[in-house]
Amino acid sequence: MAILPWFKSRKKIDEKVEEDIKKLTKSTSENTKLFRSLRIRFVLIAALSVFVVLGTTVGVITAVRNIQARNNIDSILTALVENGGNMLTVSEASKSISTSVTEETIYTYRYFSVTMDSDGDITSTNSQSFASLTDDEISDFAKRIYSKGQTSGTIHEDDTYYSYQVKKSKSSTLIVVFDSTTYYSDAFELTWVAIQIAVLCMIVFVLMISAMSKRVIEPFIRNYQKQRRFITNAGHELKTPLAIISANNELVELMNGESEWTKSTADQVTRLTGLINGLVALSRLEEQPDIVLTDLDFSYIAEDAAEDFKGPVIRGGKTFSMDIDPGIHVKAEEKSLFELVTLLVDNANKYCDEGGHVSVRLKSVGRTRKRARLTISNTYAEGATVDYSRFFERFYREDESHNSKRKGYGIGLSTAQSIVRIFKGRISASFKDDIFTITVII
Say which DSSP state 204 is in.
Answer: H
Higher pLDDT: 190 or 101? It is 190
Look at 21-35, 103-117, 138-152, 173-187 and tell me which has the smallest mean pLDDT: 21-35
Please say if the pLDDT value at position 19 is more than 80.
no
What confidence score (pLDDT) does residue 229 get? 66
CB 330 within 8 A of CB 442: yes
Q: Per-residue pLDDT for 172 more than 50?
A: yes
Domains delineated in the chain: 291-441 (3.30.565.10)
pLDDT band with cut points at 50, 70 and 90 for residue 226 = low
> Per residue in 396-441, pLDDT tens?
555 444 444 444 445 678 778 888 888 888 888 888 888 889 999 9
How many CB atoms neighbour CB 74 within 10 A? 18
Q: Which of 326, 332, 382, 376 is closest to 353 using CA atoms?
A: 382
Cβ count near 23 (within 10 Å) = 12
- Residue 29 pLDDT exceeds 80: no
- Give the pLDDT confidence score for residue 358 in this predicted structure: 93
Q: How many angstroms separate the CA atoms of 144 and 157, rounded?
A: 13
pLDDT band at 89; cut points 50, 70, 90: confident
Rounded mean pLDDT of 386-395?
65
Query: What whole-number distance in Å separates Cα of residue 60 and Cα of residue 51?
Result: 14
More confidently predicted of 280 and 346: 346
Q: Calculate the CA dihedral of residues 193, 199, 205, 210 and round it to 10 degrees.
A: -160
Burial per residue of 286-305, b for 16 or more beta-carbon CB atoms within 10 angstroms, e otherwise: bbeeeeeeeebbbbebbbeb
